[in-house]
């Protein structure tokens, strides 16, 4: 299972501190998804070795207009292992672009409907069940966040949309163990296995994209190389 974070300067904790906490909580990996205008500097290979987890270079793109968002997707696709798009005004753009891995927190600043669900499913774009507001807000804001996640779950189930799950921490103090996320998942109708699937999906995306970036990859199922003929 993997968790995702915003590290300093996009958050308040360093990637190193976040990686330590993630390893202590029992996760297998960490996706660093700073916004593209506040990127952290770190060595993922060195941190992976130091903390015994897979540290993945990601990005969460936010932009003022559609053209800028599309340009950022093009720019980061070859540089980052996981490309997310900040949910809200660019929900549709993200769902219709197969280069996007994850539409982040689609219910926080915008709306997600059946048209977008179909587009995301067709293009293999994962939508995020972001538990941040449920974990860190209270009162009406928390109720609204739960309502949005339940509505999102209904659409994901109906249209078989791929999805990921995250607490979306901006500090090591905001990270939560998987069992706590299972509890949040239960409030929106998820089983523990469904939340576990959403946490594992980050690692599956990373593995797939690293494979595609390898020199031998041409397209799914097609690679360069030498093959021996069967007798």
User: Taking residues 154-174, what's their average pLDDT?
Assistant: 97
Q: Is the pLDDT of residue 86 over 60?
A: yes
Q: Is the pLDDT of residue 106 over 70?
A: yes
**pLDDT-above-70 percentage for the chain:** 92
Q: What is the pLDDT of residue 50?
A: 98
Q: What is the pLDDT of residue 223?
A: 43
Q: Is the pLDDT of residue 228 over 50?
A: no
Q: Is the pLDDT of residue 231 over 70?
A: no
55 Cβ neighbours under 8 A, 6+ residues apart: 15, 19, 29, 30, 32, 42, 44, 45, 47, 48
Are 202 and 5 spatial neighbours (Cβ–Cβ below 8 Å)? no
Q: Is the pLDDT of residue 216 over 70?
A: no
195 Cβ neighbours under 8 A, 6+ residues apart: 165, 178, 181, 182, 184, 185
The residue behind tokens 């689609």 is 106
Q: Is the pLDDT of residue 229 over 70?
A: no
User: Taking residues 172-201, what's their average pLDDT?
Assistant: 97
Give the integer Cα–Cα distance in Å for 82 and 101: 6
In this structure, of 9-13, 152-156, 201-205, 217-221, the range with the lowest mean pLDDT score is: 217-221
Give the integer Cα–Cα distance in Å for 117 and 162: 10
Cα torsion through 161, 166, 170, 176, rounded to 10:
170
Domain ranges of the chain: 2-223
- Alpha helices by DSSP H, listed for 8-108, are 15-24, 44-51, 66-77, 91-95
pLDDT band at 215 (very low <50, low <70, confident <90, very high): low
User: Taking residues 23-46, what's their average pLDDT?
Assistant: 97
CATH superfamily of 2-223: Metal-dependent hydrolases (3.20.20.140)
Q: What is the pTM of this model?
A: 0.91
């Amino acid at each position: 299972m993997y968790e995702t974070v915003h590290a300093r300067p996009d958050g308040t904790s360093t990637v190193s501190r976040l990686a330590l906490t993630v390893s202590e909580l029992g996760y297998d990996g960490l996706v660093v998804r700073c916004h593209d205008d506040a990127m952290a500097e770190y060595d993922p290979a060195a941190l992976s070795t130091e903390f015994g987890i897979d540290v993945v270079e990601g990005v969460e793109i936010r932009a003022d207009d559609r053209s800028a968002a599309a340009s950022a997707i093009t720019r980061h696709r070859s540089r980052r292992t996981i490309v997310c798009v900040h949910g809200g005004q660019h929900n549709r753009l993200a769902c219709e672009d197969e280069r996007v891995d994850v539409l982040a927190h689609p219910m926080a600043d915008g709306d997600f409907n059946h048209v977008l669900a179909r587009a995301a499913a067709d293009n293999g774009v994962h939508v995020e069940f972001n538990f941040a507001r449920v974990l860190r807000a209270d009162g009406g804001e928390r109720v609204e966040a739960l309502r949005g996640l339940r509505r999102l779950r209904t659409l994901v189930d109906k249209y078989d949309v791929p999805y990921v799950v995250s607490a979306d921490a901006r500090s090591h103090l905001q990270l939560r163990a998987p069992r706590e996320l299972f509890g949040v998942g239960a409030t929106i109708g998820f089983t523990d296995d469904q939340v576990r699937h959403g946490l594992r999906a980050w690692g599956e995306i990373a593995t797939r994209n690293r494979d595609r970036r390898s020199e031998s990859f041409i397209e799914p199922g097609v690679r360069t190389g030498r093959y021996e003929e069967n007798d």
